[in-house]
Structures are given as structure tokens and as C-alpha cells.
Amino acid sequence: MEPTRYPADGGTVPATEQRSELVLHLNGRAHTLTVDHRTTVLDLLREQVGLTGAKKGCDHGQCGACTVLVDGRRANSCLLLAVAQDGRRITTVEGLADGERLHPLQEAFLERDAFQCGYCTPGQLCSAAGVLAEAADGFPSHATPATADPAAPVALTAEEIRERMSGNLCRCGAYPRIIEAVADAAAHHGGTARPGGAAEHQEATP
């Protein structure tokens, strides 16, 4: 059924009352696009730009499958109107790896078998990338002790990961493995050695 037809109308259709031109930096590349004002970032990525990594699970901000990073912070792309994102840097799952070298989160998801069908996985990965950055920047969560130093990075315990990853549903039930995988990547992220060998029954609590 290929070839696919990207970009469909990006850049070729003039701006009108219903459409506007904007620039989005997608995975490090600037795209000048003309978008229907009703188009969400998710639909723009999937239907017009050919970046189908971000998934549509609900289209209503209920599942997290569409999670991407907008200027480095995670967001549900189904809730963002593309027209309001002019100039932003958007990272999707396709932008996580460094060429052929996988992101430590991607490595950890593979090693821990932190997915089955894989449909929630791009959202889980982008969300986890957001979690690593948020924790490093000291963002507290519901699981952070009230006594924690507000200026210090938050240690990503299993409890913290569970709480912070709860916006990303996985119907295949890969949660225990996702927690382990994020903990592996967090250990890597924090500069400490990555725990070797998948300790299969153990809960990872760094």
C-alpha cells in the first residue's frame, strides 16, 4: 500500500482563515507547516509528517500513549493544538536514540521486556525521559517526602517511578517491568553504573 504521501499538505497549502503557517522543530529539524486550526500535535505528527511513533490511545488526555516532549517537558500531544505550538521543540520517540545508538531507556525497555504489544511504549519512553529530567530538576511528586530538599534532585525510588509514570496506561500490564527499566535508566542517568543482569524477580529500588 506504500508509498505514503508525506507531507500531505504541509507547506503547500496557503494559510487561510482555517489554516495557519508555523514552524515546529521536530526531533531537531525545523519544519514549516500549514496546519488546519483543528489539528492536534498528535494528528499532525501521525498524519502529516509521517512520525507515527506517538500513538493515539484515546485522543482525550486519558492514556498517555501520545506523550511527547515539548521544549523538554512531557505533554499529551492529543491535547495540544498544533497552531498554538509555533516555534516549539518537539521530541518524539523517533528522536530519542542517537542515530543507531539507543537511548538508555530504550535499551532498558528491551532488556527488561517492559512492553508486550508496544502500543503504549513510545508514550512510556517519552514520559520516562520527562521523568528523568523532572527528577534531576527537583520537581516533587505525590510520592516525594515533604521533608525533601526542594532544591535537590529527587531520587527515583520505585515508589517515585510508579507515581510519576501513572499517566501512561499499559493494558498489557507491563508496569512492574517498566518500573525496573526506568530505574535502570535512572541509575545510568545519575552517572552511577547500571545494575548488571536483569534480576528478574526483584523489584528495582535504586
Partner 1 sequence: MSPDPFPLGPPAYPLGAPLVRREGREKVTGTARYAAEHTPLDCAYAWPVAATVARGRVTAVDATGALALPGVCAVLTHENAPRLAATGDPALALLQDDRVPHRGWYVALAVADSLEAARAAAAAVHVSYAAEDADVLLTAGHPGLYAPETVNGGYPGTRERGDFDTAFAAAPVTLDATYTVPPLHNHPMEPHAATAHWTGGRLTVHDSSQGSSKVCEDLAALFSLDPGDITVVSEHVGGGFGSKGTPRPHVVLAAMATRHTGRPVKLSLPRREMPAAVGHRAPTVQRVRLGAGGDGVLTALAHEIATHTSTVNEFVEQAAVPARMMYTSPNSRTAHRVVPLDVPTPSWMRAPGEAPGMFALESAVDELAVLLDIDPVELRMRNEPDTEPDSDRAFSSRHLIGCLREGAERFGWRPRDPRPGVRREGDLLLGTGVAAATYPVYVAPSSAEARATADGGFRIRVNATDIGTGARTVLAQIAAAALTVPEDRVRVDIGSSDLPPAMLAGGSMGTASWGWAVHKACMALRARLRDHDGPLPAEGLTAAADTRQEAAEGSPYARHAFGATFAEVQADTVSGEVRVRRMLGVYAAGRILNSRTARSQFIGGMTMGLGMALMEGSRLDPAFGDFAERDLAAYHVPACADVPRIEAHWIDEEDPHLNPMGSKGIGEIGIVGTAAAVANALWHATGIRVRDLPLTVDKILPRLRAAREGAG
Contacts to partner 1 by CB under 8 A: 1-6, 8, 18, 36, 38-39, 43, 46-47, 50-60, 62-63, 65, 92-94, 96-97, 102, 106, 109-111, 113, 115-122, 125, 161-163, 165-179, 200-201, 203
Closest to ligand FES by CB, 154 vs 178, is: 178
Report what 66 binds from ligand FES, partner 1, none; CB cut-off 5-8 Å by kind: ligand FES
Residue 174 in the binding site for ligand FES (CB under 6 A): yes
**Shorter beta-carbon distance to partner 1: residue 145 or 149:** 145
* Closest to 141 measured CA to CA, from 157, 123, 122: 157
| 170 binding ligand FES? (CB under 6 A) | yes
Closest CA to 27 of 133, 115, 129: 129
* Cα gap 81→91, rounded to integer Å: 16
Closest CA to 11 of 2, 23, 26: 23
Q: Does 175 engage in binding with ligand FES (CB under 6 A)? A: no
Coil, strand, or helix at residue 151? coil
Q: Which does 47 bind (CB under 5 to 8 A by kind): ligand FES, partner 1, none?
A: partner 1
Spatial contact of 182 and 106, defined as CB atoms under 8 Å apart: no
* Residue 178 contact partner, candidates ligand FES, partner 1, none, CB within 5 to 8 A by sort of partner: partner 1
- From ligand FES, partner 1, none, interface partner of 73 (C-beta below 5 to 8 A by class): none
Among 19, 25, 50, 119, binds ligand FES (CB under 6 A): 119
Rg value, the chain, Cα: 18
Residue 46's binding partner among ligand FES, partner 1, none (Cβ under 5 to 8 angstroms by kind) is partner 1
CB distance 3 to 38 below 8 Å:
no
Binding residue for ligand FES (CB under 6 A) from 16, 18, 32, 62? Answer: 62
Distances (CA, A) of 147 to 82, 151, 164, 202: 40, 12, 18, 28
> Within its chain, how far is the Cα of 71 from the centroid?
12
Measured from the CB atom, the residue of 149 and 199 that comes closer to partner 1 is 199
Angle between helices 175-189 and 121-136 (to 10 degrees): 40
